[in-house]
Amino acid sequence: MCSGWKCSCLAAAILLVSAATVGIQAKSGRPAENSPSAPGSGAQPPSPAPANGPPQPETPAGSVGEFEPVLHAQQAKLSTCMDTVVGGSSRVIDTAHTAISSWNSAAPNEHEFISIVGMSYANRSAPNAAAVIVAAPGGNGTCEGASVQIYPIAKPCSAIQAELIKGGRTTAMLRSLPVVETKSGARTLLLPSAGGGCVVVAVAQGK
């Protein structure tokens, strides 16, 4: 069983995996406290996977700009987990993006902060991606965080798994879905999609 922010992260990841198979469409707007809210083409296949992580879509479609999850955290007056949100954003956002975030407006430093991010790439084989950033306060002023990256790639999961295990190992088979763990401890689930593609779900913890 899960609890607290871990359940929130898992639920958001499941929703995003479903959306990833048909593409992510992000909308812009102005964030509101204590509820999900948003602020105001190349043709080459994805590059081979780096040794320490899953394959990434190549060639950003636009400037990264300011990290919207960080802007939302500033609006929420987050302090305890601000560094965790900044670190998570820099780890998973590398292109033009839009985010929606939620937090407890009455006591933001005593509850989890969650941000869902949609990203776009100038790559026809992998034009969209999504991520979830979660930060939750621990005891004595500490903070725990996790991130989930989701992106569909027009390559079979077997090919992606072969790339990933060059810098890691397959640690589990969840029914027929392989989980690869890198040397850094990040875990990647490979989910076959229609048309012979693969949805990559990468999960990492970080403070």
Type and span of the H or E element at 159: helix 157-164
Q: Which of the four pLDDT bands, split at 50, 70 and 90, describes residue 78?
A: very high
Task: Print burial letters for 162-173: b (CB count within 10 Å at least 16), e (below 16).
Answer: ebbeeebeeeee
Overall pTM > 0.85:
no
Q: Which of the four pLDDT bands, split at 50, 70 and 90, describes residue 207?
A: low
Residue predicted with more confidence, 151 or 13: 151
pLDDT by residue (tens digit) across 161-188? 999 999 999 999 999 999 999 888 889 9
pLDDT by residue (tens digit) across 80-135? 999 999 999 999 999 999 999 999 999 999 999 999 999 999 887 788 999 999 99
What was the pLDDT predicted at 184? 82
Task: Give the distance, in angstroms, between the CA of residue 96 and the centroid of all CA atoms in the same chain.
Answer: 14
Q: Which residues contact 182 (CB under 8 A, 6 or more apart)?
A: 51, 52, 53, 164, 167, 168, 188
What was the pLDDT predicted at 125? 75
Length of the chain as a residue count? 207
Q: Which of the four pLDDT bands, split at 50, 70 and 90, describes residue 40?
A: very low
Backbone dihedral angles phi then psi of residue 31, each to the nearest 5 degrees: -70, 150
Residue predicted with more confidence, 174 or 4: 174
